[in-house]
Chains A and B, each alone.
Chain A
């Protein structure tokens, strides 16, 4: 029993198997419910709910009419999905013994987390989806808007990395140089059984919640709660961070996560194609200038914040409090966009008149599927190129030379 437990929770799971499984789950979630694994639409509604609490009625704003602001999180399928993800991540972090309240030593982290989260939240809603609905689960809908969003995000993360290494963002570490005795570990953190019991209790609570929604004749919400929890467990156990997928490619020439994300999208394309063929309506959004700009803002924002939507959710559940600031930023940004949609004329300027392109219609089934896999292939080549370029630069640096020190 102990051996089995250690095998499952002792080490993190590989990113590629986790994302392939997430891709399969995501296509079944789409096939069974007709909606996507997505979170930011619900974050926007949370912003709307908060406004309602303080006496502002946003239900007449055009954006909230488009995404249907009704009831609270527990009355919405997407609400159960998001809560399921948070709960699943929390249980997984506890079961793996990774839960710990952590606060950043450098105060600047709070500020950048909030600002980055705000940019990312604003951008995603301008684009109608985040790293999920306009990226991971958006591309497999054969919707052109995901192409624009991905292009914007790739460029945005590159700009973000350029910013993140500047002193104002990077800050200074606690580094002491000089011979010293190594830190003695006091053993305070070794194998605390309470985390495991708390995790198991958490799983039980969620089983009861799912059973309750089912008994209450809300099968869709129960399904969302189940899938959400599965996604939450997967992203925590695999440390699935879309931010790191792109950021680490630019910053460290590491394409491991990026390749895993591409594999997850490829398998999902097959799954969604089967369900669409069987009559499920694909989710298509406007392919507009707003989508591209939104992707760009999202890319810059997630790198500055240190995490995208899935990233901050599981990190917060591991006890990294800095990511609460990202979450609050996200919701604030999304709500600002919802306000600006009609009040600042964002819709008219950036989105109105843009086509909703379903590639399976525009290019036909064969063309649409080939084009989508071609796009994935192109991204894969980009990853390989970047990895190669970084390795070549590193090899050059290894040749001994006097002016080689770059700290």
Chain B
């Protein structure tokens, strides 16, 4: 699903200001909490999490649907396994 089509999400996790490992840890826990098949929006500005969140989400079997960049902030849309 592309950026343009994504207008709704089933939950939002805003971890701006947090630094590692918490953006990654919170994301994984939120994906467990939100329920299978739901889409979580994650907003982060910790540079290390730009590497770690996509990596970790895949390892855990969730699907990274899309990613938006806004300068120093990134937004991920992830479907929970």
> Could you list which residues of chain A lie within 8 angstroms of chain B, going by C-beta atoms?
12, 97-100, 102-106, 109, 164-165, 170-171, 173-183, 185-192, 239, 241, 244, 247-248, 251-254, 256, 306-307, 315, 318, 320, 322-323, 391, 394, 398, 405-407
CA–CA, A381 to B12, complex, Å?
Answer: 39
CA–CA, A247 to B48, complex, Å?
Answer: 14
Q: Which residues of B contact A180 (CB under 8 A)?
A: 8-12, 41
The 4 residue pairs across chains A and B that have the minimum distance between CB atoms: A189-B71, A100-B72, A173-B26, A177-B11
Query: How many whole Å from A203's CB to the nearest CB in chain B?
Result: 20
Option from A100, A164, A181, A254 in Cβ contact (under 8 Å) with B45: A100
Option from B7, B24, B26 in Cβ contact (under 8 Å) with A175: B26
21 interchain pairs, CB-CB under 8 A: A100-B71, A102-B46, A171-B22, A174-B13, A175-B12, A176-B12, A177-B34, A179-B8, A180-B12, A182-B41, A183-B75, A190-B71, A239-B48, A241-B20, A252-B24, A252-B56, A254-B56, A315-B19, A318-B47, A406-B32, A407-B29
Query: How many whole Å from B66's CB to the nearest CB in chain A?
Result: 10
B77→A182 contact, CB < 8 A: yes
Q: Which residues of A contact B24 (CB under 8 A)?
A: 252
Q: Which residues of B contact A190 (CB under 8 A)?
A: 69-71
Chain A interface, >50% SS class? loop
B18, closest chain A residue (CB): A104
Q: A182-B8, A241-B48 are in contact. Are A173 and B60 (CB under 8 A)?
A: no
B8→A165 contact, CB < 8 A: no
A189→B13 contact, CB < 8 A: no
A102→B16 contact, CB < 8 A: yes
Option from B8, B13, B50, B75 in Cβ contact (under 8 Å) with A12: B50
With A177-B33, A183-B41, A252-B52 already in contact, 4 other A-B pairs whose C-beta atoms are closer than 8 Å: A97-B72, A104-B18, A180-B12, A189-B71
Query: Could you say which of B12, B21, B29, B32 has the most chain A C-beta atoms within 10 Å of its C-beta?
Result: B21
Query: Could you say which of B16, B51, B61 has the most chain A C-beta atoms within 10 Å of its C-beta?
Result: B51
Query: Could you say which of B20, B24, B59 has the most chain A C-beta atoms within 10 Å of its C-beta?
Result: B20
Query: How many whole Å from A126's CB to the nearest CB in chain B?
Result: 26
A244→B21 contact, CB < 8 A: yes
B71, closest chain A residue (CB): A189
B30, closest chain A residue (CB): A175
A93, closest chain B residue (CB): B47
B33→A99 contact, CB < 8 A: no
Q: A180-B8, A183-B41 are in contact. Are A320 and B46 (CB under 8 A)?
A: yes
Query: How many whole Å from A84's CB to the nearest CB in chain B?
Result: 21
User: Contact residue range for chain B?
Assistant: 35 or more
Q: Which residues of B contact A239 (CB under 8 A)?
A: 47-48, 51
Q: Which residues of A contact B7 (CB under 8 A)?
A: 181-182
Q: Which residues of A contact B11 (CB under 8 A)?
A: 175-178, 180
B71→A251 contact, CB < 8 A: no
Q: Which residues of B contact A407 (CB under 8 A)?
A: 29, 32-33
Option from B8, B14, B59 in Cβ contact (under 8 Å) with A181: B8
Query: Could you say which of B12, B50, B55, B77 has the most chain A C-beta atoms within 10 Å of its C-beta?
Result: B12
Within 8 A of A (CB), among B49-81: 50-52, 55-56, 59-61, 68-73, 75, 77, 81
A256, closest chain B residue (CB): B55
Q: Which residues of A contact B71 (CB under 8 A)?
A: 97, 100, 188-192
B22→A394 contact, CB < 8 A: no
B17→A103 contact, CB < 8 A: yes
CA–CA, A164 to B22, complex, Å?
Answer: 9
Query: How many whole Å from B34's CB to the nearest CB in chain A?
Result: 6
A188→B26 contact, CB < 8 A: no
Q: A189-B71, A244-B20, A254-B59 are in contact. Are A102 and B43 (CB under 8 A)?
A: no
CA–CA, A176 to B6, complex, Å?
Answer: 18
